[in-house]
Structure 1
Amino acid sequence: MTTARYRPTWDLALDPLVSCKLCLGEYPVEQMTTIAQCQCIFCTLCLKQYVELLIKEGLETAISCPDAACPKQGHLQENEIECMVAAEIMQRYKKLQFEREVLFDPCRTWCPASTCQAVCQLQDVGLQTPQPVQCKACHMEFCSTCKASWHPGQGCPETMPITFLPGETRCFYECSYPSFKN
């Protein structure tokens, strides 16, 4: 953190200091950054560290105002973030945004092949039943629901009932839950 610089009192009337809500230091306006959406103001160094931390940790793709009491609950715009961080951090931010878009898009899914990781389009948009997906990059055909190899006419492994060998169910429940009796 930087410390507030000492200034003679006669300078204060000409160039007032502004308080940063994060570090509580006081700085001249030119060392501060205002978030456009909510008009909250922070020292540029604190805001930069906050944005970089969120991107590096992959915590958020929509970076909110760091003031928990922000009345407008503002978010930083992409151009504001770009002005603050290095190019490789901005590239990570854009990658995180894209990954999140694919995750929540019902029309797209990731190819499950560990060597591929391409984005694949679903054939029948809005269809809730499993459907075959053909990856255009590696040509793997997989199930849209469970991501396993395409299995026509069979249910997905995660939706199929769990089958136990004779005696396993009873032993599991009796050992794990002594009050349970079959």
Structure 2
Amino acid sequence: MNGRGRREAAGGSGQKKGRERLGGGRKGRDRGEMERNLIYVERNHIIRSTGIKISAANHPRKQNEVRCMVAMATCSYSVSKNSVDLAIDPLITCRLCLTEVSLQDTYELRDCKCLYCEKCVRQYLQVLITDGSVMNITCPDAQCKKQGRMEADEIEELVDVGLFERYRRLRFQREVDLDPNRTFCPEAGCDTVCHVCSTSASSSIENFKPTPVDCPSCGLQFCSFCKSKWHGPLTCDEVMFNGRQEEAGIPFSSAEDATIKRCPVCHVPIERNDGCAQMMCKRCKHVFCWYCLTSLDDDFLLRHYDKGPCKNKLGHSRASVIWHRTQVVGIFAGFGVLLLVASPFLLLAAPCILCCKCKVCKCCEEDEESLPT
């Protein structure tokens, strides 16, 4: 009896130990599975408590273990600086300064959605507004397919008050200069915008006809073309070259020592403080000589300053002029050599291109014929 009881007791204890080992094995498997899930979670930089599988959700001990492991994973995730940088605040490479900045320090353009660091965008706008290029401010990336435009409300958010006022003033002046139906009064101290008669206004500068314009503020009557006092039957050329300018308006002077002259095409006033004698009008992009007002649009080699009254008056040394001409000749010669070298290859490749194109067309026709009607 005692031996039998001992055997039963031993058997019961053995079964109990087996169950404990079995339970321990299950616990080990559950814990290993939970650790693997937590490692997977940390590598993906996202904490998901629902990703942990619990085989016996009703056991409070296992629930407490899971909560502790999730809390430990959350703490290690928040402490890891690299993981936080990758998941929350990634680094963006600015295409202007070519440096990596955090996402919170970038600015996204509204039109094209391009990202730049905010400091570079502010400096970009400051340079353009200071230089007077305010009519068409686009994305600074030349390879941007959309070439997004920056409107006034977007520019106002990025620049200070004084710079934005300059932007508005320059943009308004530019709009008036380009509008054939409006012009500024040339009287000193009078910035009134006067209306030009629509019958004489034209969208083309070459077809523009002079007409008298009356300023509603100061009462000055001036010519809409040369901005001098209305000269009646005299043409603008006669007034300009005979020196019959009055005090009103800026004189069109051809004298060499004059600091202010008018563009020979659009007659906008131009002031020359320093630099060479080759001038380009910012309004009509006309290139001319400052001294004699001769057109230099087609004079790529600047041969105008080799002879005549403007000889050696360009304002550059002889060596710089020769270097400029060498560069121009080199560019044209390079294009010629490139075309000469590439022409045989183009002739050889032309039949292949045509054959491939014909083959594609035939395939398209066969596909269309095979379609059920």
Common fold: TM-score over 0.5 = yes
Question: SS state of the match for residue 107, structure 2?
Answer: strand
Which one has a bigger Cα radius of gyration?
2
Name the CA distance, whole Å, in 2 between partners of 1:158 and 1:10: 78
**Within the alignment, does 1:150 sit opposite 2:236 as a pair?**
no
Name the CA distance, whole Å, in 2 between partners of 1:77 and 1:23: 23
Aligned partner of 1:18 in structure 2 is 92
Aligned pairs for 1:89-128 (under 5 A) are 89-127=163-201, 128=208
Name the CA distance, whole Å, in 1 between partners of 2:239 and 2:143: 44
Name the CA distance, whole Å, in 2 between partners of 1:43 and 1:160: 51
Unpaired runs of 5+ residues, structure 1, are: 1-6, 163-174, 178-182
Unpaired runs of 5+ residues, structure 2, are: 1-79, 202-207, 243-306, 310-373
Q: What TM-score, normalized to structure 2?
A: 0.40
Aligned partner of 2:252 in structure 1 is none
Q: What TM-score, normalized to structure 1?
A: 0.79
Identity %: 38
Name the CA distance, whole Å, in 2 between partners of 1:55 and 1:120: 26
Per the TM alignment, residue 59 of structure 1 is displaced from its structure 2 partner at its CA by: 2.3
Higher RCO (C-alpha under 8 Å, 6+ residues apart): 1
Deviating above 3 A after TM superposition, structure 1's stretches of 4 or more consecutive aligned residues are 124-128, 158-162
Aligned partner of 1:130 in structure 2 is 210
Per the TM alignment, residue 176 of structure 1 is displaced from its structure 2 partner at its CA by: 2.1
Name the CA distance, whole Å, in 2 between partners of 1:65 and 1:158: 46
Residues 150 and 85 (structure 1), Cα distance of their counterparts in 2 relative to 1, 3 Å cut: same
Per the TM alignment, residue 29 of structure 1 is displaced from its structure 2 partner at its CA by: 1.5
Aligned partner of 1:71 in structure 2 is 145
Aligned partner of 1:172 in structure 2 is none
Q: Which amino acid aligns with 2:236?
A: C
Work out whether residues 18 and 28 of structure 1, in 8 Å CA contact, stay in contact via their aligned partners in 2.
yes
Residues 159 and 37 (structure 1), Cα distance of their counterparts in 2 relative to 1, 3 Å cut: farther
Aligned partner of 1:48 in structure 2 is 122
Q: CA RMSD in A?
A: 2.2
How many equivalent pairs are there?
159
Question: SS state of the match for residue 109, structure 1?
Answer: strand
Residues 100 and 149 (structure 1), Cα distance of their counterparts in 2 relative to 1, 3 Å cut: same
